[in-house]
Amino acid sequence: MRSFFRFTLVSLSLIVFSCGTKENKLIDAGDIQLSWELVENQAGGENQHKAKFTITNNGPALSGTDWAIYYNQIASHDFVFPEGAKLAIEFELGTLFKLVPKEGFELGQGETLTFEYTAGGAIVKNSQQPLGPYLAQGNENAKTISNYQPATLTMDNPEVLKVVKTLIPTAKNLFEKNQSLKMLSASQLSNVVPTPMSIMAGKGSFILQTPLVIYHEAGLAGEAELLKSALSEVLDGDVSIQEGKGQSMQLKLGKSGGPESYTLSINTTGIQITGADAAGVFYGIQSLRALLPVATYEAPASGISLDQLTIEDAPRYAYRGMHLDMARNFESKETVFKLLNLMAYYKLNYFHMHLSEDEAWRLEIPGLPELTEIGSRRGHTTTEEEFLHPEYGSGPDPNDPNSPGNGYYSKADYIEILQHAHKRHIRVIPEIDIPGHSRAAIVSMKNRYNRLMKEGKTEEANQYALHDPEDASEYMSVQNFPDNVICVCRPSALTFMEKVFDEIIAMHKEAGVPLESIHIGGDEVPKGVWEKSPICNEFRKTHPEIAKTHDLMPYFIGELIKILEKKGMPTSGWQEVAMREGADGKEEVNPAFANSGMRPYVWIPDPNLPGLLANAGYTPIIANATKLYFDLAYNNDPEEPGQTWAGLVNTQSAWEIVPQNIFYSSEKDSRGNSIDVEAEMKKMVKLTPEGESNILGIQGQLWTEVAKTPELLEYVVFPKLVGLAERAWAGNPKWATIDNLEQRIKAREAAWNGFANTMGQKEMPRLSYLEGGVGYRIPRPGAKIEGGLLLANSEYPGLIIRYTTDGSEPTANSPEYTEPVAVSSMVKLKCFDIRGRSGMSSTVSPQ
């Protein structure tokens, strides 16, 4: 899956103040003013930072030790406190920490205390700051500290510059980076994204006008309805559908070609879309939508002129996926619907739902209500008997409907999602991540176990138990959980999983939607698990084929594969499900599950792993972290949200990936260090013809540690998803067939210039209207002042650039930059979309 951190993640938790007087007076979180600031990176060591909390008490005097301030933070541990400090930071688990007073603590009314400390790791992003602080006294009086202000990091912060070794996106740096991009004419842009196999231009045009009847063959009524809905947004007049044959608009089957292929023909008599199957017709409809003028979204017309042409098209990959983690932070059903609609428009056809994690369980399972009653809620707790602890700033209230920590999909919700996706030819792949990343399930089932044991129902209590009560194993997962792995030696672990599988299968059956595969996760099981589990040690005595404890992992995966095979489906999982621990302690491909239809999703950017797996008989899906993890930040700007553990990912990253050979699009590693491409390519495992055919496709991933709102989700996913769609659908780009490195880079840059122009001039304007408007990221403009002239550009030629010279932030009414402008003072600039929405500003001054 995703080693969300190769460095340790720290969570900023709440602050709880409690007065240690004899009366145990409750503290009012509203009296507390809290701030946090980075003091220094590389403080006392290369991989350390110094920071400080500042606490001001505006209420009655504080004393005693029965309170704490909890917070979540994406950072690392190894805290060092100055001698005589009145406070300390204690790690709870995951991203949760607490700030605790020491004996003798006092803070009078109106007094301020500054607490400075050193911790591991560097802080280079505002999204790494402490989040969601709250004050609590024991298990009571947990209230959010609303008066909290973390200091904002900016690009000119010397402590950021000290650590970041690659491009800092200042106005000047961005200008120089964007200089390779040249504005192209409309005739040089792609008519349709993702790029079709072939487009043959005709002569003249056809007027698409109302009243319009969409004629369709039997079996295409659903496609016709979706086309009617899309055309009704841009046509002023009546649009209807009718089964049968007609001229102005015809949907039909009969194209020869592979699955999902289509022909779109626009001639003097009308528009015909012919598909090899219903999905092909659907994708032909999306290409027709791409040809509609963007202006018609703003002002629907009774007639739209379309150039005559013929498009012949088919997808490169059968699997074109998008993954969404709704476990770490919940995304509503409505947000999912919008994402599905946009995926369908860009011809993506698999939606991977990450439904369980350490931090939450998000799907109702009939018969196991604890999974959602406990596992889908987060709040302040010292026992986790009713809900889970806070993560990612989700706060102390488990019943807060606005907290992204709380929420789940009911059975009815899930069925609605399935049906919505199915109508758009998107197949849902549900994921239940086990045996690691399973803490929410473990805690939920442990509470079930404890309740039933108290009631004397021993057999029922053990039926779905996932833990060994006597397990003394010591381990820590990469996301800092010491208790997140299922006891795979209990028969109840398999009983639990089969129950979950059966309920998911039943939901698909009720929805009338086929279930192609279930994803079982299988990633990041830490060393040390099961070593001191009495149940597992006893289990191994009767299973001599399990040579060492870690071999329990492939054993458990094999048992799950058998269960799913009996239910008629292949197993999917992160790449670890196809691996085993070799004699040397290193991971190697496990031949046991090859040629079984297993789908390993390859996320670790090992250039050899896709080839090794595909050649061995697996059918991998490329999910490369350094190119396709959309939660990774667009660039090094501290204000850009996102992670950096595997580098940076932007639209070009997804657009340029070559699944068969990552070095065709990578001249630097994830830290910006140069790679000897030719030397590395000589070491690569070569794909056999059969191995190449085994690669099913590619998938973009969104992990939601940072993307906690629908707005942030759209910001980090778009326009990256458009680059993904291009590479998933369109054929292998010509530049990827050039062996000479210098020539390949030159050809790739020219091709990117064309795609970036298409994005800026066509796709971003369209995204501004699709589905009511998408909140895609609008980049900062590049700019410099040279010889008294303001020069400006954008990474997407075609975006509108506006500027001011009076120090104010540009607005949609500010002057538009179209050519060099004489200036004599500081200038602020922003890029704007067609509807007046802007991105972050850039500032330049005369030298």
CATH number of the domain at 265, please. Answer: 3.30.379.10
- For residue range 167-207, list pLDDT tens digits in order: 899 999 999 999 999 999 999 999 999 999 999 999 999 99
Residue range 133-141: average pLDDT? 88
Same domain, 522 and 574: yes
Residue 14 has pLDDT above 50, yes or no: no
Same domain, 268 and 323: no
Residue 621 has pLDDT above 50, yes or no: yes
- How many domains, the chain? 4
Residue 9 has pLDDT above 70, yes or no: no
Same domain, 146 and 284: no
Q: Is residue 1 part of a domain?
A: no
DSSP 714: H
The CATH number that applies at residue 835 is 2.60.40.10
Please report the beta strands in 467-593, taking only residues with DSSP state E, as ranges in sequence order: 518-521, 571-574, 579-581, 587-589
Residue 671 has pLDDT above 50, yes or no: yes
Three-class DSSP category at 757 = helix
The secondary structure element, H or E, covering residue 790 is: strand 789-793
Q: Is residue 2 part of a domain?
A: no
For 759, 817, 831, 839, the CA distances from 800, given in Å and listed in that order, are: 13, 8, 5, 11
> Rounded mean pLDDT of the chain?
94
Residues spanned by the domain of 295: 198-313
CA–CA separation, 228 vs 231, rounded Å?
Answer: 5
- For residue range 709-726, list pLDDT tens digits in order: 999 999 999 999 999 999
Residue 690 has pLDDT above 80, yes or no: yes
Residue range 528-557: average pLDDT? 95
Per the structure block, which two tokens stand in for 465? 């138990």
What SS3 string covers 273-309? Answer: EEECCHHHHHHHHHHHHHHCCCHHHHCCECEEEEEEE
- For residue range 91-119, list pLDDT tens digits in order: 999 999 999 999 999 999 999 999 999 99
**Domain boundary residue among 709, 729, 749?**
729
Check residue 585 and give its pLDDT: 86
Check residue 24 and give its pLDDT: 54
Same domain, 651 and 561: yes
The secondary structure element, H or E, covering residue 90 is: strand 87-93
Q: Is residue 343 part of a domain?
A: yes
**Domain boundary residue among 272, 296, 313?**
313
At a CB cut-off of 8 Å and minimum separation 6, what does 220 contact?
251, 252, 253, 278, 281
Residue 13 has pLDDT above 70, yes or no: no
Per the structure block, which two tokens stand in for 764? 């971003």
Q: Is residue 187 part of a domain?
A: no
The CATH number that applies at residue 110 is 2.60.40.290
Same domain, 125 and 30: yes
Same domain, 72 and 121: yes
**Domain boundary residue among 296, 313, 330?**
313
- For residue range 731-766, list pLDDT tens digits in order: 899 999 999 999 999 999 999 999 999 999 999 999
